[in-house]
Structure 1
Amino acid sequence: MSKPFSFSLLSIITKGPFAFYLLPFAFLLASCTMNPDKQKPGEKYVQGEWRQDSVPAQKRLVSYSLYDLKFSCDSFFVKISSYSKVNYGADSCMNSGHWAEYIKGTYTQRQDTLHLKGEFCNADGSYKDEKGCFRSGDYEEYFKVKQKTDSLIQFASTSNVIPINAHLIKRTSCTPKPL
């Protein structure tokens, strides 16, 4: 009676002269995971559009930024409107002390910390050329989040001293889209 054929990666790795060379590939293969085919649902309480109207002592500040945030499932889109009384660069970029930057990406939340990870983009969400005005490339930020009311959230950045007090403009619900 013959023994049934059995094939396993372990048997190949542990037997034969090439086992030493196959070992790194076995670990690589074991560490691969498939990407999800749909968006994750994200956090229900942030779904929608949020706006920061002002910052404390804004009239006395030399420069400040106001945020418009949009959360859809596990994705975000942010518009940062910056204002400055000092011209730091070319006026074609600074636009007489007012300019906007845009960021898109995905977010996760662990306890009270919201982690935004994405990239700078154009207003339409398209790729931003590195030779353009202001920041380009990767964006990563952590915010301590306090939900003050159903329609007011405070985002306290770990890299900025001025918190973002954003009020709800439009509530939406998550409908995961295919990726």
Structure 2
Amino acid sequence: MTYRSQVLVTFLFILFLFSACRFNPEVQQPGSSALQGIWEEEPLKYEDSLLTHTKHSFTFTCDSFYVTLETTSKVNYYEEECYHNGHWKEYAKGNYVVSHDTLYIIGTYTKENFKQKISGCYRTGQYLPMFLIQKIAPGEVKLMNLQQHLPVTLKLKQRTKCNPQPL
């Protein structure tokens, strides 16, 4: 192989590498248009018979979510100063993906202001629930929590539009 051939092959290889790779976009993805908005979970009919129940309040903006988890428990799982007579709130934020009939939530537990939570009462670390999407209708989304096997019916409180922000 001649010197010119080697240079040409090397140039073509480098050109191929640069054309094969691309950076991720530097703005948010649009997410699911059906989920954009502020959603509140409807109470379960048998909620009072459960030992522990968590009510979800979701905000979906583009490909991001923010959730407030309001828990009522008849059983004390935590230290007394954290238990608050069986009522407490937790917060999480992150991204979500809808794939076929499943809503994947990928996030972390946060403080009330949605800033990073390193320690404190209740859960810290990753928040990774999965929901089976049973029905999407105007103003209502019916989900099945695949980890707790409980239905989650979300009612739309306010519709929002995705306005992608730079990352």
TM-score normalised by the chain length of structure 1: 0.80
Q: Which residue number in structure 1 is paired with residue 161 of structure 2?
A: 173
Equivalent residue pairs, number: 161
Contact 1:47–1:171 (Cα < 8 Å) also in 2 = yes
Indicate how the Cα distance of structure 1 residues 33 and 118 shifts in structure 2: closer, same or farther if over 3 A, else same.
Answer: farther
**Distance across 1 between alignment mates of 2:45 and 2:19:** 52
Whichever residue aligns with residue 81 of structure 2, its letter is: S
Shift of 1:45: 0.5
Q: Which residue number in structure 1 is paired with residue 100 of structure 2?
A: 111
Radius of gyration: which is bigger?
Answer: 1
User: Which residues in structure 2 correspond to 1:129-144 (within 5 Å)?
Assistant: 129=118, 131-144=119-132
Residue 28 of structure 2: SS of its match in structure 1? coil
User: Which residues in structure 2 correspond to 1:31-42 (within 5 Å)?
Assistant: 34-42=23-31
2:114 is matched with which residue: 114, 125, 134?
A: 125
Range 33-42 or range 74-83, more displaced: 33-42
**Distance across 2 between alignment mates of 1:134 and 1:33:** 40
**Distance across 1 between alignment mates of 2:136 and 2:62:** 21
Which structure 1 segments of 5+ residues have no match? 12-25
TM-score normalised by the chain length of structure 2: 0.86
Contact 1:55–1:162 (Cα < 8 Å) also in 2 = no
RMSD: 2.5
**Distance across 2 between alignment mates of 1:78 and 1:162:** 17
Residue 127 of structure 2: SS of its match in structure 1? strand
Shift of 1:110: 1.1
Contact 1:43–1:73 (Cα < 8 Å) also in 2 = yes
2:68 is the alignment partner of 1:84? no
Q: Which residue number in structure 2 is paired with residue 68 of structure 1?
A: 57
